[in-house]
Amino acid sequence: MTELPALAAGSQDDASIVERIHRGDSGAEERLVLLFGERIRLVALARTRDRELARELTQEALMAVLSALRAGHLRASDKLAAFVYGIVRNIVNNQFRAAKRRPPTEPIEPEHAVTVPIDPIEQSDRARMVRDALGLLSADDRQIILFTLVDGLKPGEIARRLGLPDEVVRARKSRAIKRISERIAELSRS
């Protein structure tokens, strides 16, 4: 197991940093990051052998250390380096445990991908049913549905474009979708 590279033994500076962070001093937090950030990254890199993962774990460890210090979880401020190292070790070990629990993934090769071709006649029938159902709606309701489905707009944006209250657009959209669904269901049964 890789040890934390030469962290300074407990000092008066450690006690000062711990106390200042507990009081909410952002300058002390920056000092802690400067003191330990690179060391944490090196430990994470040595354990994982993955630069990007080491950066992520460093950020996670620094946040965990700062959160713990803000909450006053370090009882002996002269043990700051050991406290930081313990958090780093736990975060790296948790990463390894989580990776073991994940099932292995195998990419799907393009030749293995299966697509079910849509029958052109069925596709034509569906399009006809949708056009027929949309034809039952008023021009405004049809516009609301088209703004929603084609343009991907939210009711608030549609309301602004049409100069209507949001509630009116939501109600009309709901009723229009219900009418379309009922009509398509009728056409499907026949």
Dump pLDDT digits (tens) for 2-57.
444 444 445 667 788 998 998 998 899 999 999 999 999 999 999 999 999 999 99
**Least confident span in 60-69, 102-111, 143-152:** 102-111
Instruction: Copy the structure tokens of residue 156.
Output: 């608030």
Q: Taking residues 150-166, report their average pLDDT.
A: 91
Architecture of domain 120-181: Orthogonal Bundle (1.10)
Q: What would the pLDDT profile of 98-138 be if each residue is shown by its tens digit?
A: 888 888 888 878 777 777 778 888 888 888 888 888 898 99
Domain edges within the chain? 12-101, 120-181
Is 168 within 8 Å of 159 (Cβ atoms)? yes
> Is CATH 1.10.3720.10 what the domain over 12-101 is classified as, yes or no?
no
The whole-angstrom separation of Cα 79 and Cα 107 is 46
Phi/psi at 50 (5° precision): -140, 110
Topology match between the domains 12-101 and 120-181: no
